Structures are given as C-alpha cells and as structure tokens.
C-alpha cells in the first residue's frame, strides 16, 4: 500500500471520527498504521479506563473481541465497534464457562479471579478481574487464602511466585507467548546482543521469565524501557509493541522475539473506515451477563 493511499485513509478516518463523535482505542499489539490513527494506545487496563472516561458516542476498539466486550460492558449506553468481528483470542477461548462452573462446585466459597483476557461469560462468573499489570495486587486484595485464577497458567504461576495466597491455576495459555517465545530463542538473542536488557511479558513460560531482566505487562514494559538507562532491549512479547517502544524511545534499539498474534493483526485501516461509515461490527453483551461482568471489572478498577 502506497504512502498516498495510507494518507488518504487516515484523512478519511479523521473525518468520520468527527462526523460520528467517535474515539479510537488501539492495543499496542495492533498494526503500526492502526496505532497511528488511534486516540489512545495502551494495554487492557489503560484502554478499559479510557473507555469509561470518553464522552464519545462511538468507541472503535482496535484489538480483539474480549477487549471490545469489556468496553461494551463498561459503557452499556455507548456503541462499541470491533472493525473485524473475527479478531479473536485463543487464550480467552480456553476457558469454557461450563468448566468454570464445575470448578466452582469443586472449590466452593473460593473466589474467582479472571484475567481480563477472557470472555464476558467468564467475567460474569468471576468475583473480580485482573490484568497482567495488576494481577498480584488483585490477588492480594482478596480476603480468602485461596483463589481460582484463569485462564492463563503462566500469568497465574508468575502471580503465585509473588503472593502468599494459594492459587488454583487454569491450564490455558497464549500461543504467542507460550509457544513462540522460548528460552532458546531468548538465549540466542542475548548471545547476539550481550549488552541488551531482556524484558518479557508474564504470559511467557517460566523458563523464559527466569532469564529475563524485567517482567511486566505491556504498559510496564513501555515504562521500564523509558526509565532504564540501557539503550538496547530484547523484547519478549508480541511484536506490535515495538512500534510504540521505538516511537517513545527514538535513541534506543529493540530486538523483537519475532512473534505475531493473528487475532491482533486482523484489523486494518480499510476495516476501520468501513466500521465507521456503516456503524458495523457492533459488539453487545446481554444485559444479565453484562451486569455481572461489570461488577467484576469495577471490583478490579477499585484495587
């Protein structure tokens, strides 16, 4: 796609945003050109808060389905659009609500902490939600000594390492972090770039986390890169974050783990334009599910 074509589409999106009184939220794993037309770029927690703060009538969520669902749950009076309704998350799909209900019967009176990377129905069955940025704080906020944590086993085990709470961990995982970012790959990058600090997402396997210099959610990784005096970084998370890191730190060098999330890359500028023009790909959550899920999300935001 030529520069002129991209420029024309960006101009058209700007016009449509004004016409529709819309705001565009984009996760840092989105395509570079999608990040560039967003009003706000961030991680799940940042974008959840921005969704609640906006005065816009329409929220265009450039991410994956569970994120758009979260925005719809927190803003039931607004129109939430997901430019590609096939932008899914395999991790979120690894937690079936029937299985969670069975687990709650096996472990009665034990609170459920669900990662925000979960479906609306899972959130509705949860006591509280969390993100990778606040998982430890959320778990520690629970009065119970044990919690059920789902769906990501790696975030669950990382959280367990930092709390005295006993965590019953689900067996789900993000293929981008679990399968595509290996200890061997990170060791190879460290060998090639011995001066670089290694920063990784807690969804990575324990073997990767053990050889990292810093572990954190996407927002934490961005802040660490800005504050550290080091000028080289090995980045163990989805490659889309590299654009934001380079933009925020033009004098620093970032070496990606070369891993892409298919769901995050489904949205492009043409789909954003179509979504705004036609007010299509609306995301809605049934009221009964939305009310319960909103309680879990609001409990998280109060931690």
Q: Does one domain contain both 106 and 156?
A: yes
Helices 241-248 and 218-227 pack at an angle, to 10 degrees, of 30
pLDDT tens figures, 218-257: 999 999 999 999 999 999 999 999 999 999 999 999 999 9
Q: Does one domain contain both 9 and 84?
A: yes
In this prediction, residue 1 carries a pLDDT of: 73
In this prediction, residue 46 carries a pLDDT of: 84
pTM to 2 decimals?
0.94
Q: Does one domain contain both 145 and 122?
A: yes
Domain of residue 157, CATH code: 3.40.50.10800
In this prediction, residue 269 carries a pLDDT of: 97
- Whose tokens are 């659009």? That residue is 81
In this prediction, residue 250 carries a pLDDT of: 97
High-pLDDT (> 70) share of the chain, %: 100
d(CA 130, CA 147): 13
The 3-state secondary structure of 21-83 reads CEEEEEECCCCHHHHHCCCEEECHHHHHHHHHHCCCCEEEEECCHHHHHHHHHHCCCCEEECC
In this prediction, residue 44 carries a pLDDT of: 79
d(CA 196, CA 189): 9
In this prediction, residue 49 carries a pLDDT of: 83
pLDDT tens figures, 11-45: 999 999 999 999 999 999 999 999 999 999 998 77
Q: Does one domain contain both 84 and 95?
A: no
Question: Where do the H-state alpha helices sit in 81-142?
Answer: 90-93, 97-106, 120-124, 135-141
Q: Which domain holds residue 153?
A: 91-173+288-301
What's the CA angle centered on 78, arms 119 and 128, to 5 degrees?
35
Q: Does one domain contain both 272 and 128?
A: no
Q: Does one domain contain both 148 and 13?
A: no
Least confident of 50-54, 180-184, 252-256, 261-265: 50-54
Q: Does one domain contain both 185 and 197?
A: yes
Q: Does one domain contain both 83 and 95?
A: no
d(CA 122, CA 293): 8
Q: Does one domain contain both 295 and 155?
A: yes
Domain count for the chain: 3
Q: Does one domain contain both 153 and 294?
A: yes
Q: Does one domain contain both 22 and 64?
A: yes
Q: Does one domain contain both 98 and 145?
A: yes
């Amino acid at each position: 796609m030529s520069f002129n074509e991209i420029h024309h589409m960006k101009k058209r999106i700007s016009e449509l945003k004004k016409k529709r009184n819309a705001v565009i939220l984009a996760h840092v794993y989105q395509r570079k050109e999608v990040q560039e037309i967003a009003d706000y770029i961030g991680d799940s927690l940042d974008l959840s808060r921005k969704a609640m703060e906006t005065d816009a009538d329409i929220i265009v969520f450039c991410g994956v389905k569970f994120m758009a669902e979260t925005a719809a749950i927190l803003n039931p009076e607004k129109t939430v659009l997901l430019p590609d309704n096939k932008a899914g998350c395999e991790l979120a799909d690894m937690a079936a609500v029937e299985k969670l209900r069975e687990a709650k019967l096996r472990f009665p009176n034990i609170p459920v902490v669900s990662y925000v990377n979960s479906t609306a129905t899972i959130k509705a069955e949860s006591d509280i939600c969390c993100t990778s940025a606040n998982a430890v704080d959320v778990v520690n906020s629970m009065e119970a000594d044990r919690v059920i944590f789902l769906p990501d086993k790696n975030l669950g085990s990382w959280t367990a390492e930092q709390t005295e709470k006993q965590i019953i961990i689900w067996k789900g995982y993000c293929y981008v972090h679990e399968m595509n970012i290996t200890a061997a790959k990170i060791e190879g990058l460290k060998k090639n770039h011995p001066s670089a600090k290694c920063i990784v997402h807690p969804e990575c396997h324990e073997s990767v986390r053990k050889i990292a210099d810093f572990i954190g959610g996407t927002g934490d990784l961005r802040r660490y890169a800005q504050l550290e005096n080091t000028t080289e970084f090995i980045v163990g998370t989805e490659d889309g974050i590299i654009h934001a890191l380079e933009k925020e730190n033009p004098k620093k060098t970032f070496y990606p783990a070369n891993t892409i999330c298919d769901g995050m890359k489904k949205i492009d500028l043409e789909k954003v334009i179509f979504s705004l023009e036609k007010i299509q790909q609306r995301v809605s959550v049934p009221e009964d599910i939305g009310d319960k899920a909103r309680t879990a999300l609001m409990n998280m935001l109060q931690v």
